[in-house]
Structures are given as structure tokens and as C-alpha cells.
Amino acid sequence: MDIKIDYIPTNKQALYHASTADEVLYGGAAGGGKSKATVMEAFIDGMEHPGVHSYLFRNTYPELRDTLVKEAQLSIPKELGRYIGSDHDYRLQNGTVLHFRYARNLIDAYNYQGAEMNRLFIDELTKFKKEIFDFLLTRVRAPKSLNVKPFKRFTANPGGIGHGWVKSMFIDALEPYKIHKIRTYSNTLKRETVVTRQYIPALVTDNPHLTEDYIIQLESLPEALRKALLEGNWNMFEGQVFTEWVNDPNNYQTRQKTHVIDPFVIPSDWKRYRSFDWGYSKPFSVGYWAEDHSGRLYRYHEIYGTEKDPVTRITKEPNRGLYMSVDKVADLVKAYEDKYEKGQTIIGYADPSIFADNGMPDGSIARIFERKGIYWQPADNSRIPGKMQVHYRLAFDADGLPMMYIFSNCKDFIRTIPTLVYDLNDVEDVDTECEDHIYDDTRYMCMARPIKQRKNMMPKKIWTPQDDPLNMIERPIVTTPYDSLGKVFNNIRV
């Protein structure tokens, strides 16, 4: 019996199907055929490997029903299997089962604690929090008797609660199309393990089946949503808090129309500050600031509590703290200042909560720092006024100059601030589920040196190569006396 499968993959879909990587993200613009590719990959793989159990996830059940389940019912020939609505499973005749599931939160995810996921598919990954993703990964395994190697396949559009960690894990870290080896050391196995990872960008123009009306509809959307869904721009998306943010390597030296600039030696007569947001299971953040004679702030160094790649110094696990004691964090701050800030007067501002002793035998966090010679003042922790002060500082004047600059060595500021999104339940505030620790220490600094309201004079962003949505532009290496300290900074492992 001849069975016709009505599916001719696009070039990008074919790359997705042909990938040999352990983990693949197929993502970017809307309309690239990602949901179709997800279902067909699970189906075709299931036909080639009888008896496998593939799990296909969306964030909510309505999304699951209206996308993946609907696509499976339309695309999988009835002769080869049937969908069991009561179980949300598609059972193929060869014993393979496609399990259609959703996970809105960790409670939902824990329902799959006993599941054995031979293949894991997650559609619209940016709608998931990192902890849900991490838990689902622990369920991916296969018995040796099945003779298959488990894999994971993901799709995503820019934007959403998971935008930051997805961008960090797949977009910032990976050259598109290339399969990268991610090496980690297993303490249990006592050897190095390797996971291969690939990012395949998707554009609306990749899909020949879409009508011109759909593209025109995307073109008519508000700017941020249009750039995310039509152009696949990961640097500008709907719900982004700090839309003023610009990181343009071409202007690092001119310091115009960019917030990120090349490092330079801080003049000795500028005031210096540090700001602090405590974290244990989540990252702590210490920011170092200088203020010029016009009141402009420069973030010139940061100590951020995440595990770093030993070569690139880039955060390996976004929003995961070091579980470091207060004493050790204080020692890091002390070590840095003894080497690089000797003789400098630094005023410190920190979250007021660190001054509460909470029955701790060593006293408050602030007291522990004090015993190391590091002193803090309680910061103004007002959330909305603090957010507005950050907006005012990021705003550009008519000459393209902001009131806040970030040195290019402050990689975690550059990584996290553009990814912050609004809280759906408090639409004026930042969603605290984001990686907001550097934002918090920045907010404390801005509230300590408040400025008057400034209107952003920069025109709406126009799509240019400088926007660098894949972060592929090579960063210039500038030789300055400050840069010569970089090798020593790298020895402070935070």
C-alpha cells in the first residue's frame, strides 16, 4: 500500500531534520515553519526508530492543542497511527508514541518526573523559564535495549520570559549553522563529557508556503514586535523594558549613539562608587562606577556571581548563582580593591536587606563585609523610581550621548540588561523572574545619583548591520593601560 506524506521541507527545515547535534534550536522570525518541522521530525524519527517515546511540549494546553496537536492530526497519515485525545498521545503503528504535553510552571514539569523521554521537543522555548527547561532535560534518556541516542530539538521566536537565557545559550554563544562542542567535566564519571549544540536561524522568507498577506501583516506590526517576528532580531522584541539600549561596536571609541564603549583609565579626580545586590542560589552582583564632572556614570568593572568560561569569561549558566558564602564574596571584593583600587575612596550602595541580621550568628551581610573593610550604605530600593532613573540615564541627547556608559569588559551587564521584560501582573515594573541582579545593583546606583527626566532624542531604531542580532561582529581589542589589567581580572574567578 502506497502512503503519501504531503511534506516537502524548506531548505532550513531540511537542515533541521538533517542535524546530528544533540541539541538544536531552530528559531528566529515567525512563519518559518518551525511547528511543522517539530511535528514532522518527531513523526519521521518515530517511523525510523520503532518504540521510541518522543515528548512534544508547549507552555500551555491551548497552545499545544492549537499548534502541535493540530499539525499532527493534519500531517500524519491516518494509516500510520491515531491520536488518542484522552491521553494526548499519537500512537504510531510501529510502537512509537508521540506524547503531547505542556508545562506552565515547575509544578507541571514535576508531573513528568518518572517519564523516560527518548526525544524532547519544545516549541516556542522562549516562553519557558530556565528552571522548567533544566528539569525537563533531566528526563531525557533511553534504555540501552532501545539502541537509540536521545536528542533534544527546540524552536523559538525572540521575546518572552525565557528570551534572555535562550539568547545567551544559543544565539550569543553559537555561530549559526555550525555544530559546536560544549565540554563539561562530570564529577560522577570522573571524565569530560561533550554535548553538541547547533543554532539554525529561521526567517519568514524561508517558507514558500506563506502568502504575501501574512508578510504584509507582520510588516504592519509595532516596531519591536515587527523586528522580532519578521526579521528575527534577538536584540529588539515586544515587552523589552530598556528599548533605549544600543550596543554598537563601531562607535565604541566615538562614544556616540552607543552605551557600550572601550575601556579607558579612570581619571583620578572622578568620584568612584560600587553597588551591590546580594545573591546565593541566584547570582550576586557588584558594580563599579565612576562619575565624571558632568554627572555621567561609567560602569568600568563588575564582579558577577556565575560560573564563567575559563577562556572567554562568559557566563556558562545564566541566572544560576555560585552558592558562595558571604565571607567568600566579601573576600572577592576585597581582593579586587586591594589590587586595583588602592588609595581610592569608594562609596558603596547596597540593597537595604543586607543590613538585617535575621538571627545570623555572624551578624548581617553588611557587618560581615564591614569586618573585611568593605562598607555599604543602604540604597533607595524604590522600584519604579529606580527604573525611571535607569531610563533617564540611558536616554540619548541630541548629540547621541547618554548619561550612562558601560565598559565593554562588563559582559554580564551587556548580556542581561537588554533581555529584561515587563511583569505581566505589574506592567510598569521589570519581571523579577528575569536575570535582574545587575539591573538591581544599577538601580541602586542610579537612585544614589538621581538626575532630572531626560527624553530620548535618538530616532527609532532602524535596521542596520550594527544592530548585530546574532552578535557576530568581532569586538575590537584596544590597547590601553586599563586593558593591560584584563589578564589579572581574569584570575578573579566569579
Q: pLDDT band at residue 222, thresholds of 50, 70 and 90?
A: low
CB within 8 Å of 443: residues ≥ 6 apart = 383, 386, 387, 389, 390
Lowest mean pLDDT among 33-37, 70-74, 194-198, 304-308: 33-37
Mean pLDDT computed over every residue of the chain: 87
Is the pLDDT at 381 greater than 70, yes or no? yes
Residue 474 has pLDDT above 90, yes or no: no
Using a cut of 0.75, tell me whether the model's pTM lies above it: no
Q: How confident is the model at residue 19 (pLDDT cuts 50, 70, 90)?
A: very high
Average pLDDT over residues 128-142: 94
pLDDT at position 80 over 90: yes
CA atoms of 286 and 277, how far apart (whole Å): 7
Question: Could you give the percent of the chain with pLDDT greater than 70?
Answer: 85
Query: What pLDDT digit, counting tens, does each position of 396-437 carry?
Result: 999 999 999 999 999 999 999 998 988 878 878 999 989 999
What's the pLDDT score for residue 427? 76
Question: 71 — phi, psi (to 5°)?
Answer: -65, -40
Specify the range with the lowest mean pLDDT, choosing from 49-53, 240-244, 255-259, 343-347. Answer: 240-244
- pLDDT score of 494: 38
